[in-house]
A and B are shown apart, each in its own frame.
Chain A
């Protein structure tokens, strides 16, 4: 009898109403079921009001379950739209007196406060930065000179990447590695006046690591490189970068570690950018990933600027920061990425 009732309601093959059926059978008797279904019959069949005890996963039949699930989703979507509309109406009605829009929570908003965040007026930080290894650069005593090399036997992609990096960074020289030991390379570099040594590590024909070593006795940073896009893979890219020194943009380097990273990157480029060249190199830190982009910009008017991406792009993730020059055995590590450190809280970042 119940079945007859239910079948009458449905014109389609789908048996939608039996949603009540799976739950109650073992709870209530047949009589109550009949009572429940009948009042439903009175209502419009298109309107579902899912009872709170109902769960889609209890239906054993896959087809029916799927259909019920779709219905559920549609319901939810409709409700969501309805709520939004209502809110908008209220907001419009209130006009100026409307409460301010709620800002959605993002990971950046919810970021756990890092105690090493640099306060712009912090004297201690300023003092440190005045006397650290980059002070020579920031006091304009030295000009950057970068040596770019790879690990042994680089493949084509890595070589091309190195060459493109050399065009991006002014005064950069690419040298073939030839199996030399870094520890022996470093004194030679110092002797020839290089300020930076950059080693691109390669794995499976693709660059995947970078060691950036500030030379006289500066910190060594080891990065994981990912998402390398060479120039010809860029869409709508322009002509090749010119020889002008680019400007540098460093975004979101907030903590002490981030600050030293920022200085590390800044010291790669010469002090005085040539604004004529209209080129800008950006190091943007987001959630501990440093995105590098190289653009050419043009100011269309005082409110709009157009940028065109030239040059390679890649992302870096800091793995370790070592105090002296490269020494993997006896070096003193300022900071090392520990794998499970940031698994605990996904809103905690180091840079």
Chain B
């Protein structure tokens, strides 16, 4: 025989109930079959013979009803009714099953069912939206990568690399005639040239016009070869002059047109050069090395 009042007196008021959670203001009931979640005389599943709840399992709602005749077999005490996915139909089902039951339980069941469907809808909506994926970091791996990065940075010698690349581009003439260096190079080379070989440059002078269309300043080695082949450019014959020319970086396309002798020729050269440079097409800037 189930004496509800006695049970309630014991667990609710006087002695210990393992499902009760006491807070300053309220008492909660942690029993999974509790319909409201509070610890009350009317909500206690242990202290009420006639009791029903709604519970949700994997998106499916069930109506649980307590059959007090089977109080001796707690595992079989609760009867389960699967509710329809349609909200109104489910409410009707609840009504049908709990017909003649106390108003309180019917009402609370419907309230609970409504709440459950609402949160199920929200879950479905959220899964469609963006899901934040948490990627765990391994401390060891991170530390290792950090160290590798530091070493790579040291090995990279970035400043040097950038400077080298810029100077390369200057040599190759990607900057056109923005910078005045060629003239300086010319002057220097001129001085050297004047001191050393004048006859050679005379020979080269005639062939300079042929060079107008050419710009072959990819690498110094190549220039030397082309020089030897075509025999233009000052830095040809004499090793000394070659070395000196190599030392002096050549800024733009028409470098290497060594002026012959005297300032007059130098000026002429300059004019030719300017024209020459204008004819050049800009070298594409992006290169993947």
Instruction: Give A residues with C-beta under 8 Å from B.
Output: 106-108, 179, 181-182, 226-227, 247-254, 258-259, 262-263, 266, 269, 271-273, 275-276, 280, 282, 284, 286-289, 291, 293, 295, 297, 299, 301-303, 305, 307, 315, 317, 328, 339
Listed from nearest, the 5 A-B pairs whose CB atoms lie closest are: A262-B288, A302-B181, A286-B156, A287-B152, A266-B286
Given contacts A108-B155, A289-B153, whether A303 and B249 have CB atoms under 8 Å apart is: yes
Residues of B within 8 A of A (CB): 129-130, 133, 141, 145-146, 148-149, 151-153, 155-156, 158-159, 161-163, 165-167, 169-170, 175-176, 178-179, 181, 184-185, 248-251, 282, 284-289
Q: B170, A250: Cβ atoms under 8 Å?
A: no
Please give, as numbers and ranges, the residues of chain B lying within 8 Å of A276 by CB-CB distance. 178
Query: In whole angstroms, how far apart are the Cα atoms of A262 and B165 in the complex?
Result: 16
Residue in A251, A293, A302 whose CB lies within 8 Å of B249: A302
Residue of B nearest to A264 (CB): B288
A307 touches B166 (CB 8 A): yes
A250 near B285 with CB under 8 A, answer no
Q: CB-CB < 8 A to B152: which residues of A?
A: 286-289, 291
A residues in contact with B288, CB < 8 Å: 250, 253, 258-259, 262-263, 266
Using Cβ atoms and an 8 Å threshold, which residues of chain B touch A284? Answer: 156, 158, 161-162
- Cβ–Cβ contact B166 & A107, under 8 A: no
Partner of A181, one of B130, B159, B181, B282: B130
Bound-state Cα–Cα, A276 to B284, Å: 16
For B286, give the chain A residue with the smallest CB separation. Answer: A266
Write out the residue numbers on chain A whose beta carbons fall within 8 Å of the beta carbon of B176: 275
Quick check: B179 and A299 within 8 Å, CB to CB?
Answer: yes
Residues on the A chain within 8 Å of B163, using CB: 305, 307
* CB neighbours of B156 from chain A (8 A): 284, 286, 291
Asked if residues B286 and A291 are in contact (CB atoms below 8 Å), the reply is no
Q: Once the chains are docked, how many angstroms separate the CA of A274 from the CA of B169?
A: 14
Q: How far is the CB of B287 from chain A (nearest CB, A)?
A: 7
| Distance of A340 Cα from B76 Cα, bound (Å) | 54
Complex Cα–Cα for A305 and B156 (A): 18
User: What is the CA–CA distance of A258 and B161 in the complex, to the nearest angstrom?
Assistant: 18
Which chain B positions have C-beta within 8 A of A254? 289
Q: How far is the CB of B79 from chain A (nearest CB, A)?
A: 42
Cβ-neighbour of B184 out of A181, A269, A301 (below 8 A) = A301
Q: A280 and B162: CB pair below 8 A?
A: yes
Is there contact, CB below 8 Å, between A249 and B184? no
Q: Which residue of B lies closest to A182 (CB)?
A: B130
- The residue that A302 contacts in the complex, of B129, B146, B248, with Cβ under 8 A, is B248
